[in-house]
Structures are given as C-alpha cells and as structure tokens.
Amino acid sequence: MSGADRGAAGGGGPAGRRGGKRILLLWDIDGTLIDGGHAVEALYPLVLERLTGRPARHRVDIAGRTELDIMDELFARHGVGAVAPDRVTAELAAQLRLRSPALRAAGRALPGAAEALRALGARDEVAQSVLTGNLRDNAALKLGLFGLAEFVDPAVGAYGDDARERPALLAVARRRAAAVHGSGFAARATVLIGDTPRDVRTGRGGGARVIAVATGASSAEVLREAGADVVLADLRDTAAVVRAVLAAGGTVAPDGLRAAATAAGDPG
C-alpha cells in the first residue's frame, strides 16, 4: 500500500464519513473546474528547459493527459533520453509554485464550478474527489488558488503521479475510496466528469458513467461521439449537474438523466 493509500485508509476530509456513500464522483480539473489560461500550457516547455538546458521548439497536445506523459513526449520530441521521474515531478511542482501568481492572474474557476462542487459535496450519498493528470501537489495548488479545495476529499482522488497513463487512474481512485469508506464502489456507481475525449475514454474504459462538459477545447459533438453518457454545455445550472450525477450513479430515474441533459442544452 502506497503512502497516499495509507493516508486514504485513515479517512479525513468530507469523504471520511463512513456509511451512506453510494456514488464515487471524480472531477477532472483543467478545462472542467478551472481555466488556467496560458500559465498552465507554458509550464511544460519551461520545465523542459530547466531540466535539459534546451529551449522547447515543439508543442505537444496536453488536453486530458497526465503531466508525466506530457513531459515524456516533450523529451522524446526534443531528442532527450529518459529523465528520472523524481526530478521531473519535483521540477513540475516547483515551477508551478513559482508561477502561481501568474496562474491566479491568468486563470479562473469556471462558471458554476464552485456551486456544483458545493451542492454535490453536501449530498450524503456522494463521495467527491478528483481524477486528474495533475500531480497531487499541483492539483492541490490549483484547487486552492481558485477556492475549490474545500469541496473535495483529496484522499480518495487519483493523480498524475499515480500513473503515467490516465486510464489507470480510475482503479486507483476506486481503491482509495474503498479504503476510506470500508466498502467498494461498483464501476457503474462511479461517475467521472471531464471535458476531453481522453476523460471520456478513461471513464468508459473502466466501466464508469461519464458526464462531459463542453467547457474546454472539445465541442459537445466531439464529446458525445467519444461516448459520454451525458454532455452538458457547462456547469452553470447547478440543479442540472446534480440531477445528471445522481442519474448517472443510478439514484434517480432515467427521465431525470434526460431532464438534466435537456436543461443543459444537450439534445440527447
């Protein structure tokens, strides 16, 4: 059992209350809960240069990926051999801390994010955390900067330093949630909310229900084609988000799911 899993087994945070939790709700961060602006994308070329002395000449797609996966591709595209993961994670965390004022100035919590998190965090049946490509430290920093950290239990989340490939993170989160709550969450009682096709594939590949929000670079049509169970335009309609989560978790009738999609402007 890893140190993070031992911490999860000890409980703590809003999801540390045992009993009654029937839905494991996992949020993506970038593009779903926050918009980090140019400060997030600029982090990875900066870390490449800090670790190798080489300026970044090539861009890579960062949407829906873990930070270590992003860095691996950057290294490969610039002809750099393997860099020790502990050096990469330390530099990523250090540089984001240094750039946190720029991130705070350039970024924002997306409309409706805090309200949706607050409403779902108050539901007795919902254990709420994150599934993110961010390193654990970077996830905490971003959520804290934009006033969102209080609504999630970090002990049952999964992070970019838990696995390089995003699909592996779903099993990590479910294992941690089971350790905290004393019983497992079925795949179909797990709900993932994200904004990219990779988020959708991560959830569907692990048997989870997926709610996609068209708040990032991917359109509603692209997210629907990727296989999302529900696509919402954004998080502004708190009641619609709550209905979609409860329906996806199997605690309301299917018409509740259709109603949530319709309220959010999703044709079905």
At 53, list the tokens. 């002395």
- The pLDDT of residue 261 is above 70: no
What pLDDT, on a 0 to 100 scale, did the predictor assign at position 249? 74
Q: Does residue 39 or residue 129 have the better pLDDT? A: 129
Residue 33 CA from chain centroid, whole number = 8
Residue 127 to residues 13, 138, 148, 185, Cα–Cα distance (Å): 10, 21, 15, 10
What pLDDT, on a 0 to 100 scale, did the predictor assign at position 72? 95
Residue 41 CA from chain centroid, whole number = 16
Mean pLDDT, residues 17-29 taken together: 84
Instruction: Give the chain's mean pLDDT.
Output: 88
Query: CA–CA separation, 44 vs 42, rounded Å?
Result: 6
Residues of 124-159 as b/e, b for ≥16 C-beta within 10 angstroms? eebbbbbbbbbbbbbbbbbbebbebbebbbbbbbbb
pLDDT digit string, tens, across residues 53-102: 999 999 999 999 999 999 999 999 999 988 999 999 999 999 999 999 99
What pTM value is reported for the model?
0.86
Specify burial of residue 44 (Cβ count, 10 A radius: 0-12, 13-18, 19+): buried
Asked whether the beta carbons of 242 and 121 are under 8 A apart, the reply is no
Query: CA–CA separation, 32 vs 95, rounded Å?
Result: 22
Residues of 257-266 as b/e, b for ≥16 C-beta within 10 angstroms? bbbbbebbeb
**Nearest in space to 92 (alpha carbons), one of 54, 133, 47:** 47
pLDDT digit string, tens, across residues 219-243: 999 999 999 999 999 999 999 999 9
pLDDT digit string, tens, across residues 138-159: 999 999 999 999 999 999 999 9
